[in-house]
Amino acid sequence: MAEEKTTTEETQVAEAVQAEKTETPKQDPQEFLKNFDWDKYEEGIERVEDSKLEEFEKLVEENFVDTADEEVVVGTVTHITDREAIIDINAKSEGVISLNEFRYNPGLKVGDKVEVLIDIREDKSGQLVLSHRKARTIKAWDRVNAAHDKEEVVTGFVKCRTKGGMIVDVFGIEAFLPGSQIDVKPIRDYDQYVGKTMEFKVVKINQEFKNVVVSHKALIEADIEEQKKEIISQLEKGQVLEGVVKNITSYGVFIDLGGVDGLIHITDLSWSRINHPSEVVDLDQKLNVVILDFDDNKSRIQLGLKQLEKHPWDALGDEIKVGDKVKGKVVVIADYGAFLEVAEGVEGLIHVSEMSWSTHLRSAQDFVKVGDELEAVVLTLDREDRKMSLGLKQLTPDPWTDITSKYPVGSKHKGIVRNFTNFGVFVELEEGIDGLIYISDLSWTKKIKHPSEFVTVGDTLEVEVLELDVEGRKLSLGHKQTTENPWDKYEEEFALGTEHKASISEIVDKGAVIEFNKDITAFVPQRHMEKEDGKKLGKGEEAMFKIIEFNKEFKRVVASHTAIFKEEEQRNVKAARKKAATQAEESKPTLGDANEQLQALKDRMEGKKKK
């Protein structure tokens, strides 16, 4: 029995070994899923042995990801639709991720490896839902810190604009890209970067507030610095380079020469005068420039644009000569004259003295304005020094040519007051013919301290030609001579000793002023202002005055109020004296009268003694 039992056990072991050797190899889970008909299984058409199901579950546990695990795993993109990406994470089923989570990576394609986190193990349709965004967020902070520490280049997706810059998705973290860090040149349109994937460098991290600042400019600065060194080492005066207009200011244009900036001053942009550089160039325009100068370290480079063209004076036709008439446009006006551009880059000066035949100079603005199209006469021409002087007045006849026939001495005319001086008034009889009225020839009677007391600029005056100097081109005029001299008729009316009624119009230091009429005023000395009661006349007080001086030549009249009653007193005194003398003569006593008087006196004396 024992031997049989031993033989049986040995046989069983041998069979088990043999069975193990001949056992069917383990089935690949993926292959099993591929060939398994789930519909037949669910409908009960095809039955699966429990042993096989147990075996499959064991294989799944060994080979597939546990969908309950919240760790980040790497999956493979197996399919892409219009809205979703299908991801194989080696789980029981494939998962889906919205393509919105890959906006930062528009080049996503089948076969790409992506990090994912299981978001929903099974949605309503039994689908495994994954999240790439959450996976990136979990890993993002470590990656950003690592990129900052190692100065690595990172890829980010520009999501939108914000105040002062852009918001960039870097590893799932919203980082700030300042506007100044987008490019080495000023950015005028931020919107052109929205939706783009770009490379950046992490330049600053705030660990406390989890803020990240990135820069695209920092990546290209290093390359530009190398280019800059190479360009600077090769710079030479007179060298012609191609550049791009980087910035335009009121004083010039900054040109990017490939990492090196140079300045074209406004005066070196065009041979013609311009008001602003934008008249010649545009932003981002490519153009050739010539190097004019630079400092020792070549950090300040002076460029020129107009120097690449022939100087306009060199192209000026030989047919232009002194005395010719030329046409042009007024480009600049100064107090001393105006510049007329007769050809592009060729200007001539019209001095203000050459704008009118008048010897009374005015400002150039009185004759022309910027933009006027004018014809002028060439007065001087210096091609070597590139200078030209022009004249406008030469286009009209010189009015002094027939001055003696038009304005002979003694003739009367009308003129316009153009200017004042302390000693007189300049009156224009016609364009180019000015005359001077001395202050003493303005009025016969008024004492004028300054011409502005008598006339204003722009007034029309009657004048008479007093003197004419043809060679010196001078006219002496008079205004008072156009009227009769009132002193001739007043000589009798206000003769010495005549009396007139008037009011004190003004009190002055040494007396007062009275006005007899619009022409005649008189001075009353203080001692002649005394009234009969001993008081003095006051301003506005009316009284009788006696003329005590009348000088026609010096136009001087002196009057006295005191003389009125003093003379009356003198007459009264004389009359009283005369009357008294007459009475005295008539009352002289005779000898008989004297005896009678003596007797009467003797009687009176005796009578007193008796008493």
Indicate if 187 and 242 belong to the same structural domain. Answer: no
- In angstroms, rounded to a whole number, what is the distance separating the alpha carbons of residues 43 and 45? 6
Q: Which helix H or strand E contains 233, and what residues bound it?
A: helix 217-233
Structure tokens at 600: 């009467």
pLDDT of residue 68: 45
Alpha-carbon distance values, 505 to 121, 508, 519, 548 (Å): 116, 10, 14, 19
The domain that holds 127 is classified in CATH as: 2.40.50.140
Q: Is the pLDDT confidence value at 349 over 90? A: yes
Q: Are 445 and 489 in contact (CB under 8 A)?
A: no
| Helices and strands (DSSP H and E) totals, the chain | 10, 30
b/e code 161-194 from CB counts within 10 Å (16+ = b): eeeebbbbbbbbbbbbbeeebbebeeeeebeebe
- Which of 183-197, 227-241, 356-370, 425-439 has the largest mean confidence? 425-439
Indicate if 332 and 291 belong to the same structural domain. Answer: no
Within-domain flag for 351: yes
Within-domain flag for 426: yes
Residue after which a domain boundary falls, among 350, 368, 395:
395
Minimal CA–CA distance to 277: which of 287, 264, 286, 289? Answer: 264
pLDDT of residue 300: 83
Query: Quick one: residue 397, left, alpha or beta (phi over 0 = left, psi -120 to 50 = alpha)?
Result: beta
Within-domain flag for 519: no
Residue after which a domain boundary falls, among 220, 247, 270:
220
Diameter over CA atoms, the chain: 238
pLDDT of residue 7: 47
Bridge partners, 198 (sequence order): 156
Structure tokens at 1: 């029995």
pLDDT of residue 244: 92
pLDDT of residue 509: 85
Q: Is the pLDDT confidence value at 64 over 50? A: no
Q: Which of 21-35, 107-121, 489-503 has the lowest mean pLDDT?
A: 21-35
Minimal CA–CA distance to 550: which of 601, 483, 604, 500? Answer: 500
Structure tokens at 65: 């990801």
- In angstroms, rounded to a whole number, what is the distance separating the alpha carbons of residues 358 and 413? 17
Residue after which a domain boundary falls, among 455, 482, 509:
482
pLDDT tens for each residue of 387-410: 899 999 889 888 888 888 889 999
Q: Are 262 and 302 in contact (CB under 8 A)?
A: yes
Q: Which helix H or strand E contains 322, and what residues bound it?
A: none
- Mean pLDDT over residues 447-475, rounded? 89
Indicate if 390 and 431 belong to the same structural domain. Answer: no
| pTM as predicted | 0.41
Q: Are 45 and 38 in contact (CB under 8 A)?
A: no
Minimal CA–CA distance to 179: which of 196, 161, 197? Answer: 161
Indicate if 461 and 416 belong to the same structural domain. Answer: yes
Work out the mean pLDDT of the chain and round it to a whole number: 80
Amino acid present at 429: L
pLDDT tens for each residue of 542-561: 999 998 898 877 778 899 98
pLDDT of residue 125: 65
- Mean pLDDT over residues 506-523, rounded? 87
pLDDT tens for each residue of 9-42: 445 544 544 544 444 455 555 555 555 555 555 5
Q: Is the pLDDT confidence value at 67 over 50? A: no
Within-domain flag for 496: no
Other beta carbons within 10 angstroms of residue 441's beta carbon come to 19
Alpha-helical (H) ranges within 306-427 are 403-406
pLDDT tens for each residue of 557-586: 899 988 888 776 666 556 556 666 666 666
Q: How confident is the model at residue 366 (pLDDT cuts 50, 70, 90)?
A: confident
- In angstroms, rounded to a whole number, what is the distance separating the alpha carbons of residues 547 and 563? 9
Within-domain flag for 603: no
Alpha-carbon distance values, 76 to 111, 116, 295, 580 (Å): 6, 10, 59, 158
- Mean pLDDT over residues 86-96, rounded? 81
Q: Are 498 and 542 in contact (CB under 8 A)?
A: no
DSSP 99: G
Q: For residue 216, give its domain range.
A: 151-220
Number of structural domains found in the chain: 5
Within-domain flag for 112: yes
Alpha-helical (H) ranges within 151-216 are none
